[in-house]
Structure 1
Amino acid sequence: MRWCRRFRPPASLPARFPRRQRSILSICKMNKKIVLAALLLSLGFSSGGMAQSKQKVGNTFQGVNIYYGAGKMAATTVDINTMVATPKGVYYGVYSMPPKKNQNATLKSWSGPGTAPVLTLRSFQNVDYSLCPGIDRSLYSCRHNIFDITVSQDNDGCPWLTTTYAYSYPTTATNIGSYRGPMVRDSRCSVPVATYDVSWSPSAMQHEKVLKVVPNGGTVNATLHTYLMESSMLCDGSKFDERGAGCRYVATGTTLTVLGCDNQIVTTTAVAHPITDKELHDINVAVNTKSVGSGTISATCNFQYILEQL
């Protein structure tokens, strides 16, 4: 089912913000898209919509697609990074990329209890660069490997999932950059995201935020936080209970796009938090007040979240 919600910034925004900045926020859900805005910052959001079922955390995922950078000019090390998130814990493993088909990846480290996941290489090929976003084409070719991943953990029940990505870096050279491939999520559990949202505040739903700065003749910096919400309440990934497990599950499928600001004196960047934190992202704001003087300025910065339905 497809449905949309609209959010309008509150009518009580300070008068110095032009009416055109009080834009309507549209949120359409299959996957869920959320747009957050701030005046001086705005947030937007999109989602797809937690089904609970007790399943053993022991499954083989066949045909898992891993895209990574294969070095062109120097010896390259490729590590496969996997995470297993269950209601009771979050565990991490690092593996060496196997060189031949039907070989298992060599385990380098595993933070969890019990047996680490087993990664078996089934096939590989070079593919189009479009499948390796952000890769340096002069240094790496885009490689596609297909794995079977077998996870065996205690019967912690749903929701649980695995995430996997490859990290390529030069084995010996120091003047060649690294490349992190796209992340893949797999699970036998379903967590609909319809009741999830993103907020500037941990205590209430807030898609718009006003940030006031005092010019100092230089650059003024501030850090804001975003929070995952479920049914309009904080979704705290640091809690190791059923609700916290759902929060961590959804957080792994949360993508933030920084859409920019309508005034060039304001710049923003985002830093993701671990899924075991209360916060989703730090939003770092820098305002260049060198030419502002004693006057007033206004800017709207927009951020879009997409919550992926797995």
Structure 2
Amino acid sequence: MKMTRYFLGLLMLLSFGGQADTYVGDLHTYFGAGNPSMTNFTLYLEVVTPHGTYYGTYQEPSQRLNTGNITNIYWSDTTGTIHAPRLNMGAASGAGSIGPCPGVHDAPNTSAWGCYFTNISVYVDQPVGGCPWLISSYITTFYHSTFTGDQGPYTGPKAHNSSCPPVAVAPYDVSWDENYVAHNKTVRLPGGGGVVTQTLSTYLMKDGQLCDGSQPDERGLYCRLVAQLMTFTASGCDDARVSVTPTPHPITDKQLHDMVLQVNTSNNVPAIAATCRFQYILNEL
């Protein structure tokens, strides 16, 4: 099930550490590349559990996309209690010129890139407990060339997996205000003869109230799960003098995005009226 929110205006606990590895699932992960065997890649893993949210980075010493086990170079749990999962990468396969890789041709010098995918098998070395949990992955690719110029970086879409029951998204919404649901936002800025900047935030709501992913309780856990599965798209503004740069927050924050609004008033025009559009899709796994 998917629910789309339009903006106008501006336990299976994954316990990772001395038994034989347990297979958790596959992550069908898309990425962009010109030639996959020559492209530098970095894989990012995110794990949401009732006991914490963990982040990992995986990359081979050669930085190339190789099949087999991938080297873990960073894991956010520094206590040694929760171990980094073992990831095994399958061969890359083509998924078309663009396919499910939004913006793959928008990164620097990537007009000739295509969309690819790989299956990443996830293994843990500690018992798997109870629900809810969610594992996610995404890949950033980059190609360095002194002849054609650097290509990328491009960050592909996230892949998700969980064997837990889906979280119903019907009670959830997205708002410009943390106190009530507001899908539209009108901003009035004073002219200054230069670039005027203002930052606005968006929030996840549940049943009309703030859904705060920074809270350590059960409600906060489900807020993090819903935020992790969310898809966001910025469609831009209908006046070239107005721009908005979305900056995502970690799912462990209260905010979803900071929207940095910039208006160029250098020509001393009496007024600028513009509409900027954003889309949030609330996905069920």
TM-score range, shorter chain: 0.7 to 0.9
Query: TM-score of the superposition, structure 2-length normalised?
Result: 0.80
Structure 1: where are the runs of 5+ without partners? Answer: 1-29, 42-53
Which of the residues 55, 65, 75 maps onto 1:110? 75
CA RMSD of aligned residues (A): 2.8
Deviates more, 1:214-223 or 1:140-149: 140-149
Matched, 1:64 2:27: yes
Q: What is the identity, as a one-letter code, of the residue corresponding to 2:249? A: H
Deviates more, 1:132-141 or 1:257-266: 132-141
Counterpart in the other structure of 1:149: 122
1:53-92 correspondence to structure 2 within 5 Å: 54-57=11-14, 60-70=23-33, 72=35, 75-92=38-55
Rounded to whole Å, the distance in 2 between the matches of 1:109 and 1:193 is 32
Structure 2: where are the runs of 5+ without partners? Answer: 16-21
Shift of 1:71: 5.3
Shift of 1:240: 1.9
Contact 2:98 2:114 in 1 (8 A): no
Structure 1 pair 152–129 and aligned structure 2 pair: CA distance change class (3 A): farther
Matched, 1:121 2:89: yes
User: Any idea what SS the aligned residue of 1:249 has?
Assistant: helix
Counterpart in the other structure of 2:57: 94
Matched, 1:248 2:224: yes
Contact 2:36 2:92 in 1 (8 A): no
Rounded to whole Å, the distance in 2 between the matches of 1:251 and 1:154 is 26
Shift of 1:277: 0.9
Shift of 1:164: 0.5
List per-residue Cα deviations over 1:18-50 (Å, max 9, x = no partner). Answer: xxxxxxxxxxxx411112222xx3xxxxxxxxx
1:18-33 correspondence to structure 2 within 5 Å: 30-33=1-4
Shift of 1:140: 4.7
Counterpart in the other structure of 1:290: 266
- When Rg is computed on C-alpha atoms for both structures, the one with the higher figure is 1
1:175-254 correspondence to structure 2 within 5 Å: 175-189=150-164, 190-254=166-230
Matched, 1:165 2:138: yes
Deviates more, 1:107-116 or 1:265-274: 107-116
Counterpart in the other structure of 2:19: none
Shift of 1:261: 3.3
Rounded to whole Å, the distance in 2 between the matches of 1:178 and 1:213 is 34
Counterpart in the other structure of 1:14: none
User: Any idea what SS the aligned residue of 1:248 has?
Assistant: helix
